[in-house]
Amino acid sequence: MDRSRRSFLDELLSLSTPSGFETDGQRRWLSYVEEYADETRVDAYGNAVAVYEGGVDAPSIAIAGHGDEIGLMVRAIDDDGFLKLSRIGGSDRTVTRGQRVTVHADDGPVSGVIGQVAIHLRDAGGEEYDEIAEQHVDIGVEDGDDAGELVDVGDPVTLETPITELADGRLAARGMDNRVGIWTAAEAFRRVVETDPNATVYAVSTVQEEVGLKGARMVGFELDPDAVVAVDVTHATDHPDTPSVRGSDVELGGGPVVARGSANHPALVEAVRGVGDGAGIDYQLAAAGSRTGTDADAFYTSSGGTPALNLGIPNRYMHTPVEVVDQADLDAAASLLAGVAGRLDEFAPFDAGI
């Protein structure tokens, strides 16, 4: 990954975009793709789209990621000035205690910590993790009146963690899910547009995936493409303690993961695999017998049925502050999808072969 593309990824990872509060990330994403687009647009809830027009009869494909992340929210302020919490999306109660956080208040960010009783004061043995609703943020004030001057109920809260360079091109950060997906959508868009393809190509950054695929349901009807690829993280299980019953062969550095089954249209799966095989781009396979758990599940039922695919970026420790990805997998995913979009007229229309 060259310096410019890495800088774009770092900027995305440095922003806070919990579901329902994606504005800063969507703005930065649009500022990147608009240089290569014939048009960009945003709907009422913030779904962002960049368009390359391929001609009147050209087939169309959307390459999408979701721009939101999990987070927390202020649900109450007690008399002593401590902030009570609720979840935004699937936040993990086992990793929130003892973390630094930022409360994104209307008048600017407010720093805090999620309190944890010192080990010396806790009963030894048999400890359990408190639900997030039972945890609190300490912003250092004297009482509830002081806290109310700084924050309001409903303000979003995100964990404050740095982007960390690991060995062999791996990165750790909060919110890889799914900044790597919108990075891939934008970069695939840039690469294919530079080849002047005979296709209309949409790059999409959706909102509110983490709370039920809401943005994809909105934008899927509006775009109505011939095919759509939802790029999201998927579980890399090449580390200790992965439950064997839920394990797979997905590993960091093995390439993006092509899902098969359920939402994943067989003809689109074969197109992506064919491009990967022909170009020597490594990819991995995953089974999705019932659902993908990604925006692909919303896209493929839009507009009477849209051929869809979930392409996964291997990710260790999902929904923690230390998600780990391999930069080579991102680069391979962008190349793979640019290759498919560039040859879309060879593959379309996508049908069931019946």
Catalytic residues, by residue number, are 209
C-alpha pair distances (Å), 20 with each of 14, 44, 46, 179, 241: 17, 12, 9, 15, 33
Question: Does 57 carry a binding-site annotation?
Answer: no
Distance between CA 315 and CA 13 in Å, rounded? Answer: 15
DSSP string, 142-200: SSHHHHHHH--TT-EEEE----EE-GGGEEEETTHHHHHHHHHHHHHHHHHHTT--SSE
Question: Does 177 carry a binding-site annotation?
Answer: yes
For residue 305, count other CB atoms closer than 10 A to its CB.
10
Distance between CA 277 and CA 337 in Å, rounded? Answer: 13
Q: Both tokens of residue 20? A: 């329902």
For residue 75, count other CB atoms closer than 10 A to its CB.
15
Query: Which of 182, 175, 177, 176 is closest to 62 using CA atoms?
Result: 182
Question: Does 232 carry a binding-site annotation?
Answer: yes
The SS3 assignment for 285 reads strand
Question: Does 210 carry a binding-site annotation?
Answer: yes
* Strand 227-235, strand 60-66: pairing: parallel
Question: Does 265 carry a binding-site annotation?
Answer: no
Known binding positions for Zn(2+): 66, 177, 210, 232, 319
Specify binding-site residues: 66, 177, 210, 232, 319
